[in-house]
Structure 1
Amino acid sequence: MKRFLTYSAAVASLSLILTGCSGQSETKTSDANAQTTQHESKQASNNNDETEIKIDKAKLSDKEHEKMKKEVLDWADKYGKQQGLAVSNRYFGAGEISSGDWYAMTPKGELQVSNQGSPGPKAFDRHNLVGVVMYKAKDHTTGFDTKAKDLTNIESYQNVADLNQPVTKYLFADDGKVYEYTFQPEEKVKLSSGFAPKDHNDKDPNLKPDHSFKISDNSSANQEMQRLIKEYNNQSK
């Protein structure tokens, strides 16, 4: 009887050990599967970033580019009227400050906004296609502001905008994103604000933009960007 009880206890102990090992094995398998799923999810996310649909600016003809500018300005005109804002395509101007290419800084990297060939488009991964600026007009104009057509970097927006109110610049880029920066009244916005020229003599360090643009959360602007992608995307299907 004593031997039987000892044998039974041994069997029970072995059963508990095997059950514990099985549980550990299942836990390790579950953890491994979770890690694999996370890796695959991260890899898929990276692949999606790499395969984002873009617009190849180099493949746009001058006629197509001008048409695109008009379409974005038409969108901005309509949107500005809805929001009580004036709109101008005079979002950038450098005057005689520099003969080099100007760029904006974004979360995705440098974005070329002017091309003087120094250093040229190949030096940038991203390039602006169309830009607009929106503001509260002094004379309460909404939509396209004809009085802003000939603004210079010296006079800036002071003749047309109420600079006690925010001024927002939008950049429609060839990476399929819309970038924006809203200048507050204390920031003294000019046409060159938000941008800086690239070094073009390989001697002096590049100037840095005074502000960094963010990816726009303006749903209307993003919808317009998606429409442009569908219309002008020249990538092979």
Structure 2
Amino acid sequence: MKKWVVLLLLSLVLVGCSQNSNNDETEISQTSSSEEASQSTTKQSSTTETSEQSSTTSEETNQNGSGETTLSKEMFYQTGVLQNINQQFLNWASDRAKVGGMAVTSEFFDHGAAGRGDWFAVTPDGLAMAQDLENPGYDFFPLHVVGGVTFYYSINGTLGATNERQQSSFAAGFSEVADTTKPIVKYILCDNGMIYELKSDVSLSTGFNEASDEGTIPKSQINVKEFSYSEDTDAISELQRILSIVNK
């Protein structure tokens, strides 16, 4: 009888040990799975953050342009340089205008009787000097206009590069050659390698402002009609190509 009691007690002890062992294995397995899930989540989070950072950097690059192609002050004032830049760009823009059923001219800015201050355009990257009368002068402005063009739909059916507007007076602007029910778009080419554009009216001075005779620019003028970043990436690439050649 004692022998049976001893055997029964041993059996109960072994069963208990077996259950504890199984429970331990289950807990270890669950812990391992939890750690793997946590590591996986961490990796996914890291990948997402990297992707978002890359996307943000890409967007900033697209908005700001390369920033590598610039024109020095010395080259800016060298005889014939700006005319050469604008003519090369106009030649390229001519084919672009034809495809769009438009005319394009190198006339984008002019003004009548005025004071002694420099003329400028407002852009997202700062003020761009459009005419230098040394008041306040080149060094005051962060940007400088090296050329420009105007795209419009000609009432005469003209396609590509043209000087047909020159037959009209300054006061008439584009009113005698452009279909005013359709867009008139000005491009200004700047020495930072960027192009800014403006949906204009018929006036040649639209989008441009003049500093005072003392060379000061009131804040009210800085908040006037502003050029925006051009979305014409092909045109920007062409301007940067031209500037890179001129700078050699």
Q: TM-score, normalised by structure 1?
A: 0.75
Per-residue deviation at 1:193?
0.8
Query: Partner residue of 2:23?
Result: 9
Matched, 1:121 2:134: no
Secondary structure (helix, strand or coil) at the match of 1:132 reads strand
Alignment match, 1:211: 225
Contact 1:76 1:143 in 2 (8 A): yes
Could you list the runs of 5+ residues in structure 2 that have no partner in the other structure?
Answer: 1-14
Task: Please name the residue that 2:8 is paired with.
Answer: none
Q: In the alignment, what sits opposite 1:194?
A: 207
CA shift, 1:148, in A, is: 2.6
How far apart, in 2, do the equivalents of 1:37 and 1:163 lie? 46
Deviation at 1:91, TM superposition (A): 0.7
Using a 3 Å threshold, how does the CA distance of structure 1 residues 83 and 59 change in structure 2: closer, same or farther? same
Using structure 2 for the length normalisation, give the TM-score: 0.73
Gaps of 5+ in 1: none
Who wins on radius of gyration, i.e. which is larger?
A: 2
Deviation at 1:64, TM superposition (A): 2.5
Letter of the 1:117 counterpart: E
Give the structure 1 partner of residue 177 of structure 2. 160
Tell me, in whole angstroms, the C-alpha distance in 1 between the residues paired with 2:106 and 2:100.
17
Match of 1:133 in 2: 150
User: Could you tell me how far apart the structure 2 residues matched to 1:40 and 1:218 are?
Assistant: 23
State the Cα RMSD in Å.
Answer: 3.4
Contact 1:88 1:149 in 2 (8 A): no
Q: CA deviation at 1:36?
A: 4.7
Whether contact under 8 Å (1:101, 1:112) holds in the other structure is yes
Q: Percent identity between the aligned chains?
A: 23
- Could you tell me which of 33, 38, 41 is aligned with 1:19? 33
User: Is 1:148 matched up with 2:162?
Assistant: no
SS at match of 1:62: coil
> What amino acid is aligned across from residue 118 of structure 1 in structure 2?
N
Aligned residue number for residue 5 of structure 2: none
Q: Deviations over 1:26-57 (max 9, x none)?
A: 42244235435644665577679585331314
